[in-house]
Amino acid sequence: MISSQINHLTPDSTDKFDKNFFKHQIITASNVAPDSYLVFVFTGGLNLQTEHHLFPSVNHIHLRKMQPYIRDLCKKYNVQYNETHSIWSALKLHVQHLYNKSFIQKEE
């Protein structure tokens, strides 16, 4: 369960919206340790959440091959591509996000 939440609930990937389906999928997901084969196996490939959201019916074994192309396209078109390079940094961001969201926001 936690492995799916750290990909969705981070400061960089929440409270965002884009009317373009593909862009929305990219800016609201976050990859975790995309270069780690161990994390890939542990999560069943769902550490590559951005690619999974863009192509949900593609077998997870192909997501690692697609990832560099999608990252390059995001860079080319200036689309925010969220990723952390370790599971520990993703967990830290997730807990920080939950902590920040636990306070009642004052209306301005």
CA 103/CA 4 separation, integer angstroms: 23
Is 32 within 8 Å of 6 (Cβ atoms)? yes
DSSP string, 50-64: HHHHH-TTS-GGGHH
pTM: 0.73
The continuous run of DSSP H or E covering 10 comes out as none
The pLDDT-based confidence of 1 (bands split at 50, 70, 90) is very low
Average pLDDT, the chain: 82
pLDDT value of position 17: 64
Residues 6-48 have pLDDT tens digits of 555 566 655 666 688 899 889 988 898 999 999 899 888 889 9
